[in-house]
Amino acid sequence: MIRERPDKVTMTAFPFRKAHFIGLAGVGMSATATLLRDSGVAVTGSDEAIYPPISQVLAREEFVCRAPYAARNIPEDADLIVIGKNARLLPSENVEAAEAFTRAAKPGGPKILSFAEVLALLSRGHENIVVAGSFGKTTSVSMMAHSLASAGLDPSWMIGAVPLSPARASNAGTGRLFLLEGDEYPSSNTDNRSKFLHYRPAHVLLAPLAHDHVNVFPTIESYLAPFHQLFDLVPRDGLIVAATSGELSERFLAEAKRDVVTFGLTMGDWRAENIEYGAVSQFTLTERGREVARVKTTQLGAHNFENMVGIGAFVLTRGLASVEQYTTAMASFRGVMRRLDRKSDHTSVQMFEGFGSSYDKAKSAIAAMKSILRSDACLSCSSLTRFRGAIATSLNGMMTCLAAVIAFSYLSQRTKGPAPMSKQVLTRLWSECAPPAWMPCPYIPARKALPKLALSYARTMLYYF
């Protein structure tokens, strides 16, 4: 029985009528701009480098993104300017940002806000659920949005990525709930507060914690401090659900002076037991040893099962969905782009794309791959965004991925996999995707199981597991 069903509400009146986003092609910026436009505000934006998938999102949403940055991009009648958190958006480095601050300094000039402050204004009057943590928060907030939408609650949400489920990264819903992906990173170049501290959480779902963003938080204490502040913002009747598995999770929870519902694969009030891996994996969701449901999913890896345990702990404890609604949503959840989404539905060689911006994320992705693929035929490919001061283009990234496909294709025939491409085809493909001159020769472990030919074609940052 669902204990709580939000009343229908309307989006709180926004105090500005025309907004301009400088740095529109960021995932958080584009999602917030779409949410603002859907709430009735006129929105324009600009950026300098626009790549898929955000370029595709902006096209689908019919956003015109002006490029490059220029003072003239800002409409004369804009009363709000939203500036992203990016070193290239400092007024000293960016003519458009400089123009924004010049206009804002004049009497009656536009207001400058971060997208976190915009979300704070949009979410006023709602029951805000903040999903935070070092890793897993993007997938978790997407899962929760999908679950609650599937249960008919029509929440609002903002997801800092491009989800496949739900269909959009933001939604101006009619329900009382507002789901917010909570980032601990500073709000803007002029506001060092963590973004999630703007969001007035009624409830919090905390994913695993590990020391991250060391350029901003040089010590563990400085990293955990904003999470403690986040917990302090939750009212006493609010629900806090937290993971136990991160390297800092146990320490943080021991220091927290709040009642917390915990979850994890092997530790916590809610757990995943009797895990079975496959094309459709499944596990038993338990609460303090009591079997709650058998959950099926096409998502890869133990880390995704843990995310689902957290969602189950939250929505079932809060009474936002029935057990059947929860399991149905998990079975139909399609994932998030660049979070191990499959790219090769019609090929014999399976390809997945994963965005691992930290050791823990990369480790989880590799473990997920090895759980479904033969351990002797799994290649990982990494593309550096910066190396020795040079900026790698998206084309270089695609070329590196192609190298992975070539090497994996050749490996497959050595392990009774699909037929390999001919040496002539391999040679031609590789000649079209040679690494740039500044790319160093990577260290590739010498393994007898890895054919020399595959090694020669996998020379750009490929590692054999």
Tokens standing for residue 378: 């799994």
Q: Are residues 447 and 401 in the same domain?
A: yes
Q: What is the distance between the alpha carbons of residues 32 and 68, in angstroms, rounded to a whole number? A: 21
pLDDT at 220: 95
The CATH number of residue 64's host domain is: 3.40.50.720
Identify the domain containing residue 195 by its residue range. Answer: 123-332
Of the candidates 142, 144, 55, the one whose C-alpha atom is nearest the C-alpha of residue 326 is 144
- Is 80 exceeded by the pLDDT of residue 460? no
Q: Are residues 152 and 74 in the same domain?
A: no
- CA 394 to chain CA centroid, Å, is 19
Q: Are residues 265 and 389 in the same domain?
A: no
H helix or E strand, kind and range, residue 80:
strand 80-83
SS3 at position 264 = strand
Question: Which H, E and C letters describe 154-178, residue by residue?
Answer: CCEEECCCCECCCCCCEECCCCCEE
Q: Are residues 94 and 131 in the same domain?
A: no
Q: What is the distance between the alpha carbons of residues 259 and 257, in angstroms, rounded to a whole number? A: 7
DSSP 400: H
213 — pLDDT class (breaks 50, 70, 90): confident
Q: Evaluate whether residue 344 is within a structural domain.
A: no
Q: Evaluate whether residue 213 is within a structural domain.
A: yes
pLDDT at 50: 85
- Say which residue the tokens 């703007």 belong to: 198
- Is 70 exceeded by the pLDDT of residue 376? no
DSSP letter string, 307-335:
HHHHHHHHHHHHTSS-HHHHHHHHHH---
End-to-end Cα spacing for the chain: 47
Q: Evaluate whether residue 406 is within a structural domain.
A: yes
Among 115, 144, 178, the domain boundary falls at 115
Average pLDDT over residues 448-464: 35
- Say which residue the tokens 């998030």 belong to: 336
Q: Evaluate whether residue 240 is within a structural domain.
A: yes
Q: Evaluate whether residue 200 is within a structural domain.
A: yes
Q: Is 276 exposed, middle or buried (0-12, 13-18, 19+ CB in 10 A)?
A: exposed
| pLDDT digits 0-9 by tens, 130-188 | 999 998 899 999 999 999 999 999 999 999 989 999 999 999 999 999 999 999 999 99
Q: Are residues 226 and 194 in the same domain?
A: yes
SS3 at position 252 = helix
Q: Are residues 58 and 132 in the same domain?
A: no
- CA 109 to chain CA centroid, Å, is 35
Among 76, 93, 115, the domain boundary falls at 115
Q: Are residues 175 and 317 in the same domain?
A: yes
- 173 in Cβ contact with 145 (< 8 Å): no
Average pLDDT over residues 217-238: 97
pLDDT at 362: 61
- Is 70 exceeded by the pLDDT of residue 113? yes
Q: What is the distance between the alpha carbons of residues 206 and 215, in angstroms, rounded to a whole number? A: 22
60 Cβ contact list (under 8 Å, min separation 6) = none
- Is 60 exceeded by the pLDDT of residue 390? no
Number of domains making up the chain? 3
Q: Are residues 127 and 111 in the same domain?
A: no
Among 87, 115, 143, the domain boundary falls at 115
Q: Are residues 111 and 127 in the same domain?
A: no
pTM (two decimals): 0.78
pLDDT at 455: 38
Average pLDDT over residues 434-439: 40
Q: Are residues 137 and 269 in the same domain?
A: yes
Q: Evaluate whether residue 353 is within a structural domain.
A: no
Q: Which of 98-112, 169-183, 293-307 has the lowest mean pLDDT?
A: 293-307
215 — pLDDT class (breaks 50, 70, 90): confident
Q: Which residues pair with 276 in a beta bridge?
A: 282
Q: What is the distance between the alpha carbons of residues 130 and 99, in angstroms, rounded to a whole number? A: 34
Tokens standing for residue 68: 């490059």
Q: Are residues 236 and 163 in the same domain?
A: yes
Q: Are residues 84 and 146 in the same domain?
A: no
At 354, phi and psi to the nearest 5?
-130, 135
SS3 at position 452 = helix
CB atoms within 10 A of CB 107: 4
Q: Is 401 exposed, middle or buried (0-12, 13-18, 19+ CB in 10 A)?
A: middle
Average pLDDT over residues 411-423: 43
pLDDT at 87: 81
**Mean pLDDT, the chain, whole residue set:** 80
Q: Evaluate whether residue 358 is within a structural domain.
A: no
The CATH number of residue 177's host domain is: 3.40.1190.10
- 267 in Cβ contact with 245 (< 8 Å): yes
Q: Evaluate whether residue 460 is within a structural domain.
A: yes
